[in-house]
Amino acid sequence: MRKLKVKNNEVAVYAVGGLGEIGKNMYCVQYQDEIVIIDCGIKFPEDELLGVDYIIPDYQFLIENQKKIKALVITHGHEDHIGGIPFFLQKLNVPIWAGPFASELIKGKLKEHNLLRTTELHELQEDTVLKFRKLSVSFFRTTHSIPDTLGIAVHTPQGTVVQTGDFKFDLTPVGNLPSPNFQKMAEIGGKDCLLLMSDSTNAERPTFTKSERFVEKSIKRIFTEIQGRIIFATFASNVYRVREACEAALEQGRKIAIFGRSMENAIEAGQKLGYLNIPEEALVDAQELHNLPANKLMILCTGSQGEPMAALSRIANGTHRQISLQPDDTVVFSSNPIPGNTVSVNNLINKLDEAGVTVIHGKVNNIHTSGHGGQEDQKLMLRLIKPKFFMPCHGEYRMQMIHAKLAEQTGIPEDNCFIMKNGDVLALTRDSARIADHFSAGDVYLNDADINDNVSSQILSDRTILASEGVVTAVATINVKKHRITAGPDTISRGFIYMRESNELIHDTNKAAFSSLLNTMKKKSHPTEKDFNNNIIDDLQEFLYQKTERSPMIVPMLIFE
């Protein structure tokens, strides 16, 4: 078991994911033999991670210390905060505590992975207090782009460690939902707050983030101007935005069709908890779409981030089974691209434009506001919580740096601000803070929903070479005993050169392969299969680079008689 290099009286705070990046949020507070984990998220891969479906943290340190884990507490139900739970539970089982909406989303994930019966899942409210032998946990209400968002306060013998989760200060939430609990935040700040870990996502924006009600007005205005079908794309978990779109559609007498599994799940949870109120008679299925006039229909779907298998991408590509684009359609993107998705979103918008439909997107149309606070929100949080030490989290390095500078502006000394990396361990007492240790906290790349089906760095390297350089296969039959090549060698190219137009190069490559095999037999009286494979790979890579300045993958296919 890996033990931390901290003193017995020190509180250890560290992140397994979420520092220096957007996504993969997973933070831990440890005192002696008790650990409280905050969030368990995933990150979605960028284009260069070929064939990777999800990125999760490396849980190895927590697996080795699982007897110390008392609870996994959840700030809210976005994928970068709960998406890793099924993978985490495949390695170790811990009790989970989450707000009502996050609990419903987590239940859906657990059912999908056949983990619901074996998982201890508790629903919490803002006034819930979890008490352990040495640590306790309380909560305070925040606002974000999803219901039931909570900040978390972990109370330790040395003081309180606060994790804000994702937040902004929305004073006029839609649907008369609760606003941020300033009183409880100020109460925490009026006591002994040791450390604040705060959302850095929008640290580059020198403003307060606009209220969701601002978007509500824009959506209603835009909808009144649309005569044909509306195809409305947003994050499935942004129930507030879904609510605004549905209310605007119903005011115009439009029926609503829902597409995308995550959208269906989120709406089901929102209806169950009272965050959505869509009359049953207003919902139509795919079979009824063609029986309705275009101006009486809104299609609500996933895919606002350009995900290739989401409903909107399939509609744009003409591969959706139930929906085909019509000339008078209007597609509304009610979201901004998250980091890494800009190219995918732009490509999707281009395809829709080429199809001749109207596309509404971007800040100019006022159809999206962030769920993350800007600099003014962040400074207000710092003033309310009044921590002795500060650790910016959930953001890329430049965002963390800017957030730390904001903390200095609010009176926190520079020496009390810590820009941390995943795996760094901050050791705290009432009067001191130091980076005391570091453990391995890298990325784990997954092919699908099984944590054991992960993608190694070697596999990723091979995929990159295949995608950029192609592959050359060398086929030959060898009689090792007689030291003779009885057939071949023949080389076959895929993604490297067009063989019909490269006869001379193919001929020369065959000769190089022949020489390589002969040299292997000359150098050793009893060469092994590994000897042949290694030599032909090395020799052909060198030969082809000299000829083409490219380095395709070499795959020997040698038959031994």
Lowest mean pLDDT among 149-153, 318-322, 519-523: 519-523
Whether residue 5 lies inside any domain: the answer is no
Q: What is the CATH number of the domain that holds 483?
A: 3.10.20.580
Q: Which of 272-276, 453-457, 476-480 has the highest mean pLDDT?
A: 272-276
78 is in an annotated binding site: yes
Are 307 and 442 found together in one domain? Answer: no
Question: Is 238 annotated to bind ligand?
Answer: yes
Based on the fold, state whether residues 39 and 155 are members of the same structural domain: yes
Strands 150-156 and 255-259: unpaired
* Dihedral (CA of 392, 457, 2, 91) sign: positive
334 is an annotated ligand-binding site residue = no
Question: 365 lies in a domain?
Answer: no
Looking at the structure, tell me whether residues 38 and 157 fall in a common domain.
yes
The rounded distance, in Å, linking the Cα atoms of 96 and 71 is 6
- Consult the annotation and say whether 368 binds a ligand: yes
Is 347 assigned a ligand-binding role in the annotation? Answer: no
Look at residues 448, 479, 509 and tell me which one is the last residue of a structural domain: 448
One domain, residues 429 and 461: no
Q: Is 236 annotated as a binding residue?
A: yes
Q: Which one of 238-247, 379-388, 515-524 scores highest in mean pLDDT? A: 379-388
Q: Please, which pLDDT band fits residue 192 given cuts at 50, 70 and 90?
A: confident
Q: In whole angstroms, what is the distance from residue 180 CA to residue 167 CA?
A: 9
Residues 25 and 88 in one domain: yes
How far is Cα 540 from Cα 526, in angstroms, rounded to an integer?
22
Report if residue 3 sits inside a domain.
no
Lowest mean pLDDT among 74-83, 87-96, 236-245, 545-554: 545-554
Structure tokens at 449: 């929903």
Residues 23 and 48 in one domain: yes
Is 72's pLDDT higher than 80? yes
Q: Which amino acid, one-letter code, is at 324?
A: S
> Model confidence over 526-553: pLDDT tens digits?
788 888 888 888 888 888 888 887 878 8
Please pick, among 361, 372, 377, 443, the residue that the annotation labels catalytic.
372
199 catalytic? Reply is yes
Rg (CA), the chain: 28
Three-state DSSP class for 337? coil
Residues 389 and 504 placed together within one structural domain of the fold: no
Residue 460: inside a domain, yes or no? Answer: yes
Say whether both 489 and 410 belong to one domain. no
Could you tell me the pTM of the whole model? 0.82
**CATH number reported for the structural domain that contains residue 221 in this entry:** 3.40.50.10710
CB 364 within 8 Å of CB 332: no
| Residue 459: predicted pLDDT | 62
53 annotated binding-site participant: yes
Least confident range of 148-157, 261-270, 348-357, 486-495: 486-495
Helical H segments across 15-152, by residue range: 60-64, 79-82, 85-89, 100-112
Backbone dihedral angles phi then psi of residue 491, each to the nearest 5 degrees: -110, 140
Give me the CATH number covering residue 122: 3.60.15.10
Out of 360, 395, 415, a domain closes at 360
**What's the pLDDT score for residue 533?**
83
Q: Count CA atoms closer than 13 A to 26's CA, side-chain side.
A: 28
Would you say 371 is a known binding-site residue? yes
Is the pLDDT at 461 greater than 90? The verdict is: no
Question: Does residue 526 lie in a domain region?
Answer: yes
Amino acid at residue number 320:
H
Is 438 labelled as part of a ligand binding site?
no
Q: Is residue 1 situated within a structural domain? A: no
Asked if 354 and 444 sit in the same domain, the reply is no
* Locus of tokens 């207003």: 282
Say if residues 331 and 360 touch (Cβ distance below 8 Å).
yes
Residue 18 has pLDDT above 60, yes or no: yes
* pLDDT score recorded for residue 139: 98
- 506-526, pLDDT tens digit by residue? 888 888 888 888 888 877 777
Q: Does the annotation list 144 as a binding residue?
A: yes
Neighbouring CB atoms inside 10 A of 380's CB total 18
Could you list the residue range(s) of the whole structural domain that residue 325 is in?
A: 212-360
When pLDDT is averaged across residues 464-471 and rounded to a whole number, the result is 71
* Cα torsion angle, 503, 504, 508, 509, sign: negative
Query: What is the rounded average pLDDT of the residues 422-435?
Result: 96
- φ/ψ of 190, rounded to 5, equals -80, -10
**Final residue belonging to a domain, choices 333, 360, 387:** 360
pLDDT of residue 298: 95
Has 155 been labeled as part of a binding site?
A: no
Shared-domain flag, residues 374 and 346: no
Sheet architecture: strand order including 230-233: 283-284, 255-259, 297-301, 230-233, 330-333, 358-360
CA atoms within 13 A on the CB side of 209: 27
- Cβ proximity of 173 and 143 under 8 Å: yes
What's the rounded mean pLDDT across residues 463-489? 77
Calculate the CA dihedral of residues 443, 445, 448, 453 and round it to 10 degrees: -100
Q: Which pLDDT band, with edges at 50, 70 and 90, does 556 fall under?
A: confident
Question: Looking at the predicted structure, is the pLDDT value of residue 201 above 70?
Answer: yes
Are 413 and 553 members of one domain? no
Q: Which of 56, 57, 68 has its CA nearest to residue 6? A: 68
User: Is 291 in the same domain as 374?
Assistant: no
Q: Residue 306's pLDDT is what?
A: 72
Domain assignment of residue 537, yes or no? yes
> What is the tally of structural domains in the chain?
3
- Distances from the Cα of 527 to the Cα of 480, 481, 517, 521, 554, angstroms: 8, 10, 10, 6, 20
pLDDT at 292 over 80: yes
* Region 113-132 average pLDDT: 95
Find the catalytic residue in 39, 58, 148, 199. 199
- pLDDT value at 35 more than 80: yes
**Structural domain includes residue 520:** yes
Q: Report helix, strand or coil for 37.
A: strand
Q: Which of 74, 84, 70 is nearest to 104 (CA)?
A: 74
- Residue 531 has a pLDDT of 82
pLDDT score at 457: 60
Exposed e or buried b for every residue in 534-555, given b needs 16+ CB within 10 A? ebbbebbbebbeeeeeeebbbb
